Amino acid sequence: MPLPVKPETYHHGNLSAALIEAALALIMEKGAGALTIREVASRAGVSHAAPYRHFADKSALMAELARQGFDLMVAQMRRRMAAFPKDPLMRLKYCGIGYIEFALAHPAHYRVMFGPWQDQKSTPEALKVSSSASFQTLVDAITACQAKGTVHGGDPMAKALSAWSMVHGFAMLVIDGLVHERAFGQALPAMMEGVVDSLYFGFGPGNQG
Domains of the chain: 1-55 (1.10.10.60), 63-207 (1.10.357.10)
Ordered alpha helix ranges (H), the chain? 15-30, 37-44, 58-81, 88-105, 107-113, 125-148, 156-175, 181-184, 188-203
Return the pLDDT at 105.
96
Stretches in the chain below the pLDDT threshold 70: 1-13, 118-121, 206-209
Burial of residue 93 (CB within 10 Å: 0-12, 13-18, 19+) is buried
Contact 91, 81 (CB under 8 A): yes
Q: How many CB atoms lie within 10 A of CB 73?
A: 25
Distance CA 192, CA 47 (A): 43
Return the pLDDT at 2.
37
Amino acid at 62: M
* pLDDT tens-digit map of 140-157: 999 999 999 999 888 999
Return the pLDDT at 95.
96
